[in-house]
A and B are shown apart, each in its own frame.
Chain A
Amino acid sequence: MSEESATLDAVLIDQSQGNFAYPEDYELDAGRGLGPSTLDYISEVKGEDQWIRDFRHRALEVFERKPMPTHWASRELDEIKFQDIRYYLAKGKRPTRSWDEVPDDVKKTFERLGIPERERGFLAGVEAQFDSEAAYSNIKEEFDKQGVIFVNSSEGLREHPEIFRRWFGKVIPTGDNKFSALNSAVFSGGSFIYVPPGVKVKHPLQAYFRINAEQFGQFERTLIIVDEGAEVMYMEGCTAPKFETATLHSAVVELVAMPHAKIQYITVQNWSSNVFNLVTKRGLAHEGAEIRWIDCNIGSRLTMKYPGVIMKGRKARGEVISIALANTGQHQDTGAKMIHAADETTSNIVSKSISMGEGRATYRGQVHIPKHLKGCRNNTECDALLINSRSRTDTYPAITVRGNRHATQHEASVSQVSEEQIFYMRQRGLTEAAAMSLSVNGFVNDLVREFPMEYSVELKRLIDLEMEGSVG
């Protein structure tokens, strides 16, 4: 019956969803442009310690020094005007603890986002981010008892410096790339999670956030540390209202899985088509640990995102499962990075992309297995579906395997929705759009099953929404 409700929901879609904005009313605003004073403003508002202030300033220097990666990536990056962006905006209120305290317009946004009632009820365990600052955050009692920490990153910095500082910036160093440096300089918001040894968190932890201010870059910073033998699933979902001018989103997400820990990080992303979404996500897996990135990218002007896993301990496992959908005016440049750094480590990459209209999907994969290791395995599958002849797909797999004691396999395919297939479905009464939507959903179906129920519903809905008007 799960599939049943999923498809039922797919038809009850509200097309205007996500396409709206509320009047801006921010108490705290760092203004447009980027400079040392921008960082000071953010640190001041947040009451940050000296070490993090220094960290931000060093990061800004790195950012300014690093060139745009346009030599290999898209020229579209040159269109980002860093001096026009506002780097920090907030309502200025402390994160509220009960639903009643959440401002009405924020509640309205949640309603428009279609967050199910039961989930709003479950918001007790949710940190919901409204622009930079958590509008609502409340840890369930259960988590407190287990010693699970789930707060926004500012609070994590303030309240748990001993854990935070140990791992912050260690998986993804400031200088990893230009955008990780930018994030390191101006980050605000994001989640900090710590799960103590042996604790298996039953409920998925969720964060909803959205961008609601024109020209406002969102730079959240998430750090998740899961201690020995512990398990957690984290879900993030994004929608953004549609604006005329480009907005920049550049997050950094660091995961640390201690020996035999398991982390699943799930993203369903639906940006409006003017958003630049340049995200750095990486996990560090110790011995016997498992990190899975499950990632769905829909919308945005340009997305560049290559979740990675560094398998540092023996028998560590890394997995990236991704779905990308690029419509006209959109470019999804996504992929995965798997760095094998210990014996008997295993990685799996399954990527499916759909290009429609003049949409463009690019897969970039990097698998690295050095010579001195043995018994490492990688499996890479990338499938691309083209909806019409104007769409474009590229695959750049880079699999570096040294030594002969490893097993790797790589499969890639490009297919098209055939006219005969659509004709067949229409003969059964489905409209052309519905037929197209169903075939596309069929193409990604095996991956959609990897998402938790409510996300797979949302995903099908988003795909249907994207398919509307792209036919004919």
Chain B
Amino acid sequence: MTRFVAIFRRFPRTTAVLLAAALRSASGWVVAFPLVAALSALGVGSLPSGDRALFAPSGLLLVETLRVGELPLRAAAQTSLLSWVLCALAQALPTALVFAAFALPPTDPGAPFRRALALTPRFIALGALDCGLCALTFVLGILLWPAATSASGDAQFGLAALVIGWALLLSAAISMFVDLARLASIEPDKTLRQAVDEAALGFRRRGLRLAARYVLTSGAGALCVAAAARGTELCRVDAAGELRVLVVFALHQAVLIALTGIQAVWVRALSNTDAGGRYWPLPGTAAEH
């Protein structure tokens, strides 16, 4: 414990990233547990090759498991969904930790953690705002999709790209805006409303500049996930050998850490101006609007 504290004092930001990634990973295991328990009850462990069979090419036993276990798996999925919602709310803590660690000047090593705990309720509210607005965008996209895809002739690709692109852009803009609000809400004396107002101001002033950085960081995240998917495919977990599972586990944990690190880079981008490294929100911006 003492050693951990020492490491944490020396590398508080790295520790914050690792801790946030660990929290996210642990949440994943919590969400997965009911489904795994249901699969175990279905006798998947007694299959000749155990759960390797579920990853085997052709998916014969995967489809069979879904068919035979439809009812227990559906019940387990509902429990997992509830766990997912609770864990999604709990993600406010690691998110707050990353924001507090990377947006605040590195002074007292314990400050980000204390601040993160205090920020969690606000971040839950902002996370809900993010999810709600993105869900709305998604629903609108779903509603527009049939019209876009029913177009004949050469217009179809353009219309579909327009719908997908519009939905992605809107979602990205919403996420950027909410992150700006998260950043603004770090200041203890601001209300949530003031934070949102400041985010709106920041979005208008720096939106385009931040958008480029957002595309860059999200692209890096997407590449990490895609590369891991390809790597996992190459690892062939349907084949015998526990080492394969270990390698895939390590790969996936590395992705979660990388994604958290990318989030930290993004927070740094939010909290700095282009080159000056000044803390944002700029002093006085609240009074400007």
The answer on A and B forming one complex is: no
> Which residues of chain B have a CB within 8 Å of any CB of chain A?
none
> Which residues of chain A have a CB within 8 Å of any CB of chain B?
none
